[in-house]
Chains A and B, each alone.
Chain A
Amino acid sequence: MIPEPKVVNTIINGDSKQILVSERDSLLEALRDRIGMTGAKEGCNNGNCGACAVIMDGRLVNSCCVMAAEVEGAEIMTVEGLASRDELHPLQTEFLDNAALQCGICTPGFLMSSYALLQENPDPTEEEARFWLAGNLCRCTGYDKIIDSVLTVAKG
């Protein structure tokens, strides 16, 4: 049985989008392969690494664990929506200044997860930040620079 192509109506980073998907696509596949939004990364494809994290209707989710068909009527924010037209988001600036990335594959996920943390808890303790970011894996940085960056942004 081959699933029928299906049109999904959604809002991504504030813009209405119609995406033609296969019903077997995940949200991550729809973003990357159907509309060329390659910000969200595929790390594990099973929910463990957080590289694919996006915000769906205000909640942090792993887009590899969401079906594309589920986002009909939903609002999505991806890492592409973090910077404004001519200015990086403070988290992005701080990650760069503080060398909180090396290969960069985990970075979009860490940025979205950190963004969601600061939305909910604008002044986290180090422990709260580490616990919140436990669903994001990084093979390069050793985490300290990431945590420092998030706490620096929180302190303003």
Chain B
Amino acid sequence: MQAVNYARATDVDDAVRLLIEGGENARVLAGGTDLIVQARERKRNVDLLVDVKHVEEFMVLEFDTNTGLKVGAATPLYQVYGDNNVKINYPAIVDASTVIGGKAIQGRASLGGNLGNSSPAGDSLPAMIVLGGVATLAGPNGRREVPVGEFFTGPGRNILETGELIVYISFPPVGAGEGAAWERFIPRNEMDIAVASAGAWVKIEGGSVTDARIALGAVAATPLVANDAAEALIGRPLTDESISAAGDAASEIASPITDMRGSIKQRKHLAKVLTERTIRMAADRIR
């Protein structure tokens, strides 16, 4: 391990102060399942770890039918997917967070860490995007709110400025006629990085889709918001044809690379298949 110091933040302002004092190689430590490994393998220069897990605001899990869900940036995944309100109202979060690593990873890993790591293949990211997730950030100039879909700027890169961190992620309340789902493709059943993934959220009123969101993972330099795919659904009943059109639109905007996990052709195909599948799952989940 490279030489690294550890500091435990006492509140949000203290965390911001520690990050600024620590300079460019100071990093927020949530579950450490990305960061500790990257620091050890020298994929990232780190000289200060700012542990935020002892600050309540980073560890919340609150649900209210009127205001929605608030998940602390460092709240461990097992708590998130183990929560009954999350299971009932936000099953797309459960779809993704139960397959991030194995049980020993989920005891520590967090949604904030998945966001902060900003991998295009981060499994919770398309799910958070389609659910309308908004990250509340704190920094030297105060707080701001950024939709998850606008957070990423490239592989491992995001809009966080020096000294800025994620405090929590909020999700709007679930209205009538709404459903969402997320799925990925991997060659085995668990413990692997997505070849491709998709999330879908639909709202169906009076037999017609009135709103939709589709997002894709691992098929571009960042998680993708697939507006064209959503447009293909909106304003008409959900049919095999409209679902297929959405799948085609998703495949169209996917701009994947070929690597050891999959080829461009396979990933474009998967973008269509997974988009279609998750749209159907989302519609089935409408209560």
Chain A, residue nearest B98 (CB): A131
Asked if A23 and B101 sit within 8 Å, CB to CB, the answer is: no
Number of A residues, CB within 8 Å of B = 35
Asked if A62 is at the interface of the complex by the 8 Å CB criterion, the answer is yes
Contact partner of B3 among A3, A26, A113, CB < 8 A?
A3
B5 in contact with A67 (CB, 8 Å): no
Instruction: For A151, list chain B residues within 8 Å (CB).
Output: none
Bound complex: CA A26 to CA B36 (Å)? 9
Would you call B105 and A62 a contact (CB within 8 A)? yes
Contact of A24 with B1 in the complex, beta carbons under 8 Å? yes
Which residues on B sit within 8 Å (CB–CB) of A72? Answer: 8
Identify the closest chain B residue to A57 (Cβ).
B107
**A53 CA / B103 CA spacing, docked (Å):** 10
A44 to chain B, nearest CB (A): 9
CA distance A53 to B105 in the complex (A): 10
Judge whether B108 and A67 touch: CB under 8 Å. Answer: no
Question: How many residues does chain B have at the interface if contact means C-beta atoms less than 8 Å apart?
Answer: 31
Query: How distant is A79 from chain B, measured CB to nearest CB, in Å?
Result: 14
A-B contact count (CB 8 A): 91
> When the two chains form their complex, are residues A67 and B29 in contact, meaning their CB atoms are under 8 A apart?
yes
Interface string of B24-37 (1 = CB under 8 A from A): 00000101110011
Q: Provided the pairs A47-B37, A59-B78, A67-B29 are in contact, do residues A23 and B107 lie with their beta carbons within 8 angstroms?
A: no
**Residue A39 CB within 8 A of the other chain:** no
List the A side residues contacting B51 at CB < 8 Å.
67, 69-70
Interface status of A152 (Cβ within 8 A of chain B): no
Given A1-B3, A69-B6, decide whether A46 and B101 contact each other with a Cβ distance below 8 A.
no
Q: Is the interface of B mostly helix, strand, loop or mixed?
A: loop
Contact B5 A23 (CB under 8 A): yes
Tell me if B159 is interfacial: C-beta within 8 Å of chain A. Answer: no
Query: Given A46-B37, A48-B191, A65-B37 in contact, is the A135-B5 Cβ separation under 8 Å?
Result: no
In the bound assembly, the distance between CA atoms of A67 and B8 in angstroms comes to: 12
* Residues in A whose Cβ lies below 8 Å from that of B49: 67, 69
Over the window 105-126 of chain A, the binary record of Cβ atoms lying under 8 Å from chain B Cβ atoms (1 yes, 0 no) is 0000000010011000000000
Q: How far is the CA of A13 from the CA of B32 in the complex (A)?
A: 23
Say yes or no for B228: interface residue by CB 8 A criterion: no
Decide yes or no whether A45 CB sits under 8 A from chain B: yes
Is residue A66 within 8 Å, beta carbon to beta carbon, of the partner chain?
A: yes
Interface centre among A2, A23, A132 (most CB of B within 10 A): A23
Q: A residues within 8 A CB of B104?
A: 47, 50, 53, 60-62, 113, 135
Task: Check A135 against B105 for contact (C-beta < 8 Å).
Answer: yes
Q: How far is the CA of A64 from the CA of B185 in the complex (A)?
A: 28
For the complex, is B41 an interface residue (Cβ under 8 Å from A)? yes
What's the least CB distance linking B162 to chain A, in Å?
20
* A2 and B191 within 8 A (CB): no
In the complex the two chains form, is B40's CB within 8 Å of A113's CB? Answer: no
Most chain A CB inside 10 Å of its own CB: which residue of B36, B190, B191: B36
In the complex, are the beta carbons of A131 and B190 less than 8 A apart? Answer: yes
Q: Given contacts A24-B2, A25-B1, A66-B36, are A50 and B102 in contact (CB under 8 A)? A: yes
A96 at the interface (CB under 8 A from B): no
A-B contact pairs, 10 of them (CB 8 A): A6-B6, A47-B105, A56-B107, A61-B108, A62-B105, A65-B33, A69-B51, A70-B32, A134-B189, A134-B190
